[in-house]
Amino acid sequence: MRIILIFACLFCCSCKTNTKAQPSFLHSGEVFQELQLPTPNAVRTGSGTPGNAYWQQQADHDIQVRLDIETNTIVGSERITYHNNSPDTLEYMWLQLEQNVHREDSVRSREGRSTGEEAYAGITISRIDVDGTPVTWQDYATVAKVLLPKPLSSNSSVTLKIEWSFAMPTEASLRMGFDDAYEAGPVWELAQWFPTPCVYDDVYGWNTLPYIGRGEFYTNFGDYNVEITVPAHHVVLASGALVNQTEVLSQEESKRLNEAKTVNEKIVIRSVEELQKESSEEKTWKFKGKQIRTFAWATSASFIWEAASVEITILDDTTKRVLCQVGYPEEASKVWDEGVEYLRHSIKYYSDTLYPYPWPQMSMSRGSAGGMEYPMIVFCRGSSHEGLFNVTDHEVGHNWFPMIVNTDERRHAWMDEGFNTFVNHYSLENFYGDREHKPDVSKYIASKFMHDLKAINTPPDLLKSRRHLSYRKPGYGMQFLREEILGEERFDAAWKEYIHKWAFKSPRPADFYRCMENTAGMDLQWFFRGFFEEPMQLDQGIVDVKVNADSATVTFANLENWVCPVDVTITCLDGTTHDYKLPVTVWAWSKQHKQTFKLPSQAVKVQIDANEAYPDINRHNNCWVQM
Ligand SMILES: [Zn+2]
């Protein structure tokens, strides 16, 4: 009965306001229809958690690598122990060979976007052995297919031995690079530098999307033992804990490093006065990294090395200290003098608010890479203290997304960049306090971004406006979801559940959506569809206000294809203001919604979204004032 009355009312309104034949404001309601998500199963449940049959592969790496500074070449050999935890038998494996992105036959070069490395030879693999048997492989630039001599059955392991080398790219700085701008010697930053198995998972099987550059990386968790041989006067920072410090450091340096592990105040482990220009010897630095999704490192004779540590509370409510260390050339010292403090802030803040930082140390180096994240190490640059803090906080934040929550960055960049941009906003607020700062989420302005309307959940290699669609817009969307749709209590419980359930596992967007809906207890299909899955727009407006002495009847319009709750503020003649939040379901079948509000006196102003928190592309129709 009620439904019939409402439709009758709508019909009257349309007759009065529009004489043309139309059902112009009838809403088909498709935005509310259920998203077509994969059917839940025992691997990924309907509540958005890993199921009791969840599995993922594990790839443990023992790597020996030498930096030959005479030829500027990286020479490596590795033993990969690959554990097939899947229920499937594998007859072949795919490897990632990401340095081949510089080669002429890579997808990137053939797109006409060469990295500038002329006639680059790529990775030279001299040999691959599988369980001791030499095998052949098919090279397709940034991926290669290895035919296994015998099928690898479920719940068994295989050992790959690979020997390889590549010339250090000197022109390109694609997430790593060679930086020869310093008096005391160049900086080498190495990332995505060793052959490693592509991910085999329950959703796509082998994940073989090529490395083009916009998409970052999706990799297996594994335990790493890495031995890095460099000239004896170099410092090495890496994705692991240094396990042979007495072999590579002077007694004094070793003592300082031990002290840094126990104190909050910065300790200089190697000062500018202690840098040496040359050495004819070499030293091998040994690192261990447990359950990390890749391994990166940086080395230089230029590195001034500073460190301190920070105490965090871990999962069992005890505490531990995390070593925070930086390596930078003297030329950067005006900006880098506070680097250790920045790391301490970010490690502590994200440990307290998201998940305890699980590893023993975090390093940061200054070379050619402007801002890039790897487990336990970030590569940063900044031209001011503020610039360096902001980039440090962002790259360290990536140690939660995607280093702990292992997102497929080649397909869903927004689940690491967007989520990280979102948490950076609160970390910056915590760091700066009342001081002025500009978080990335604040740079999203819906009305100024109409030219590249693609869905956020588009693989980043297919996005033109990656900065906007992978970072700012999803970062803003998460903040909007927290502060305007769910509220902090409901959001924070769901968000923590998502992080804790998926720590050291790999969620897909459907898992995130389901986990948030289940824990927050709210249907958010319309939100996820309009914000992440489809490029919908929001324009709410006020089309009519009728006032009485004790009430106001307002007709709201939804003028674009997305929907949201309506945040209404009514100001009355007696000076009182009244806030209402109309649920999103007011748009279930109509693009217009009429509602009467009881008031203490006559309304003089009606406003929607008074705080300008909504992604409304046209704010000119958001306010009615009594003339
Ligand atoms: Zn990032």
Residue 325 has pLDDT above 80, yes or no: yes
Q: Give the span between the Cα atoms of 610 and 570, in whole angstroms.
A: 10
Say how far apart CA 52 and CA 19 lie, in whole Å. 60
Q: Is the pLDDT of residue 12 over 70?
A: no
DSSP secondary structure letter of residue 37: P
420 alpha carbon – ligand 1 mean position (Å): 7
User: How distant, in Å, are the alpha carbons of 30, 44, 504 from that of 39?
Assistant: 20, 9, 23
Q: Where are the beta strands (DSSP E) in 135-260?
A: 137-140, 143-152, 156-167, 177-179, 187-190, 196-197, 200-201, 205-206, 222-231, 235-238, 241-242
Ligand 1 centre and the CA of 139: distance in Å? 30
Tell me the helix, strand and coil percentages in the chain, rounded to 5: 30, 30, 40
| 209, 459 Cβ separation under 8 angstroms | yes
C-alpha–C-alpha distance, residues 170 and 184, integer Å? 18
Q: In this predicted model, what pLDDT tens digit does every residue of 20-38 receive, in sequence order? A: 444 456 666 789 989 999 9
Q: pLDDT-derived band of residue 388, with 50, 70 and 90 as boundaries? A: very high
Structure tokens at 352: 């307290």
What separation in Å is there between the alpha carbon of 199 and the centre of ligand 1? 21
- Determine which helix (DSSP H) or strand (DSSP E) holds 107, and give its type and residue range: helix 107-110
Distances in whole angstroms, Cα of residue 18 to Cα of each of 10, 253, 257, 327, 620: 12, 81, 77, 69, 22
Q: What is the average pLDDT across 161-168?
A: 96
pLDDT, tens only, 588-609: 989 999 999 999 999 999 999 9
Q: Ligand 1: distance of its center to the CA of 477 in Å?
A: 16
Cis status, amide bond into 402, omega within 30 of 0 = yes
* Residues paired with residue 290 on neighbouring β-strands, in sequence order: none
- Ligand 1 geometric centre to CA of 394 (Å): 6
CB 67 within 8 A of CB 561: no
- Interval 535-560: pLDDT, tens: 999 999 999 999 999 999 999 999 99
Note whether 58-203+215-404 and 537-625 share their fold.
yes
Backbone torsions φ then ψ of 174, nearest 5 degrees: -105, 85
For ligand 1, the distance from its centroid to the CA atom of residue 406, given in whole angstroms, is 14
pLDDT band for 8, please (50, 70, 90 cuts): very low
* DSSP string of 563-574, one letter each residue: ---EEEEEEETT
Query: pLDDT tens-digit profile of 477-497?
Result: 999 999 999 999 999 999 999
> What Cα–Cα distance (Å) separates residue 299 from each residue in 84, 247, 328, 365?
34, 17, 10, 9
CATH of 58-203+215-404, one of 3.40.50.300, 3.40.605.10, 2.60.120.260, 2.60.40.1730: 2.60.40.1730
The span from the CA of 570 to the CA of 579, in Å, is: 7
Dist. CA 136 → ligand 1 center (Å): 36
Mean pLDDT of the chain: 93
**Confidence class of residue 179 from pLDDT cuts 50, 70 and 90?**
very high
Which among 261, 331, 563, 616 is positioned nearest to 450, based on CA atoms?
616
φ, ψ at 569 (rounded to 5°):
-125, 125
Select, from the ranges 109-113, 119-123, 126-130, 460-464, the one with the highest average predicted confidence (pLDDT): 126-130
Please give the pLDDT value at position 443: 87
pLDDT attached to residue 125: 97
Residue 528 CA, ligand 1 centroid: distance in Å: 22
Sequence spans of domains, the chain = 32-51+434-533, 58-203+215-404, 537-625
Over range 139-166, report the average pLDDT. 97
Kindly give the distance from the C-alpha atom of residue 418 to the centroid of ligand 1, in angstroms, as a whole number.
Answer: 8
Distance 560 CA to ligand 1 centre (A): 31
Mean pLDDT of 263-284: 96
How far away, in angstroms, is 291 Cα from ligand 1 center? 21
Distance 622 CA to ligand 1 centre (A): 35
What is the pLDDT, as a whole number, of residue 27? 63
Q: How far is the CA of 389 from the centre of ligand 1 (A)?
A: 14
Q: Does the pLDDT value for residue 19 go beyond 50?
A: no
Find all residues with CB under 8 Å of 626, minimum gap 6, and list them: 547, 602, 603, 604, 605
Q: How far is the CA of 293 from the centre of ligand 1 (A)?
A: 16
Q: What is the mean pLDDT of residues 230-244?
A: 98
Q: Separation of 395 CA from ligand 1 center, angstroms?
A: 6
Residue 548 per-residue DSSP state: -
Give residue 150 CA to ligand 1 midpoint distance, Å. 40
What are the tens digits of pLDDT across the range 560-595? Answer: 999 999 999 999 999 999 999 999 999 998 999 999
Instruction: Output Rg (C-alpha) for the chain, integer angstroms.
Output: 28
- Mean pLDDT value across residues 169-175: 87
Report the distance separating Cα 457 and Cα 416, nearest Å: 12
pLDDT in tens, 512-530: 999 999 999 999 999 999 9
Please determine, for residue 9, whether its predicted confidence score (pLDDT) is greater than 50: no
**pLDDT surpasses 90 at 344:** yes
CATH 3.40.50.300 fits 537-625, yes or no: no
Please give the distance, rounded to the nearest whole angstrom, from the Cα atom of residue 234 to the centre of ligand 1: 28
- In this prediction, residue 25 carries a pLDDT of 62
Look at residue 4 in the predicted model and tell me its pLDDT. Answer: 35
Task: State in Å: Cα 461 to ligand 1 middle.
Answer: 15
Give distance in angstroms: CA of 193 to centre of ligand 1. 19
d(CA 176, CA 169): 9
